[in-house]
Amino acid sequence: MEFGFDVKSDVMVIPAGTPMTGTLTGGAKGISYTTKYGMVGANALGMPVIVDGINEKGLYVSDLYFPGFASYANVTPETASRAMASYELANWLLGNFGTIDEVKARIGDVILVPTAVEALGAPPPLHFIVRDQSGKSLVIEPLEGKLRIYENPVGVLTNSPTFDWHLTNLRNYIGLTAQNVSSIQLGGNFTLPQFGQGNGMFGLPGDSSPPARFVRAVAYSQTALLAATAADAVLQVFHIMNSFDIPLGSVRDKDGNAVHIDYTVWTSVADLKNLRWYFRTYTDQTIRQIDLRKALGAAGNQVRLISMSSEQPMIDASTILK
């Protein structure tokens, strides 16, 4: 979650049987449904919506910013009963479905409309990545007022532009490899040795733009070694995610006299087999675990919150001698 200010996220614990209603412009109500499955994940801006989380069937959904491309439908009296704000889609998906196949079969039942978020002063431009326990992955993008669905063979998503553009852009990097190039021969007797490790990935983009992060995510996920245990896999993914951290000050955007500084507010990892959602924040790099079953059991029949706010402990190891 990168943003230009602290989005004040908490972990939401939403049990099965929770009634939900879509939010339309002017406070009008849209789709109404009751969740079939319990879910946990991060909210944002104090809103009762999950923007990144999992449900008890092992489905994962994440909202990602999609500026300049997201285009929502205009609500009509005929479509209001199946309409919702863009930021409410994850709740609907997590609350109703357990597999990618189920999502594909039912995604046409809803429309996304341009409901503004007060803190942003506009409808948030979003697209979505969905994944299930089988490893299948799907991208959902609101384009020209309709929801376009893509199979996701690489399993990653960043921000703008559209997903199909990102897949095409990967063709610029087909020479990347995890294998080091030790040396090459020029002119028969002139050897150019490598400077050091990692030159097989020479040319891998390292900036914070969405296209660069997409390429980097594909490169690191495709070359990751199979972990021995779930705990090992979680740590490995957090190490991969280190490559996407945006420190305060490195990304700035000036709007008049105001300067917006994007940074990584929090980072999450989801274990879809064991139904655990992990997170760390900018102010605390300690990895914290939310076990979905335990959280739902503790919450009972109510929607509850778990604070994500904490400060990084600094351990003085000066006298912890072996």
Residue 33 lies in a domain: yes
- pLDDT number for residue 282: 96
Residue 105 lies in a domain: yes
Give the domain CATH number at 147. Answer: 3.60.60.10
- pLDDT number for residue 318: 97
- pLDDT number for residue 197: 84
pTM of the model: 0.94
Residue 66 lies in a domain: yes
- pLDDT number for residue 96: 98
Name 284's Cβ contacts closer than 8 Å, sequence gap at least 6: 310, 311, 312, 313
Provide the terminal-to-terminal Cα distance of the chain, rounded to the nearest Å. 39
3-state secondary structure (DSSP) of residue 316:
coil
Residue 313 lies in a domain: no
Write the DSSP symbol of residue 135: S
Q: How many domains does the chain have?
A: 1
CB-count exposure of residue 311 (10 Å: 0-12, 13-18, 19+): exposed
For residue 274, the number of C-alpha atoms closer than 13 Å in the C-beta half-sphere is: 14
Residue 157 is part of which domain span?
2-161+264-307
| Number of other residues whose CB lies within 10 A of the CB of residue 240 | 17
Residue 171 lies in a domain: no
Residue 253 lies in a domain: no
Residue 230 lies in a domain: no
Return per-residue pLDDT of the chain as tens, 322 residues: 999 899 999 999 999 999 999 999 888 999 999 999 999 999 999 999 999 999 999 999 999 999 999 999 999 999 999 999 999 999 999 999 999 999 999 999 999 999 999 999 999 999 999 999 999 999 999 999 999 999 999 999 999 999 999 999 999 999 999 988 888 888 878 888 888 888 888 999 999 999 999 999 999 999 999 999 999 999 999 999 999 999 999 998 887 777 789 999 999 999 999 999 999 999 999 999 999 999 999 999 999 999 999 999 999 999 999 9
Residue 239 lies in a domain: no
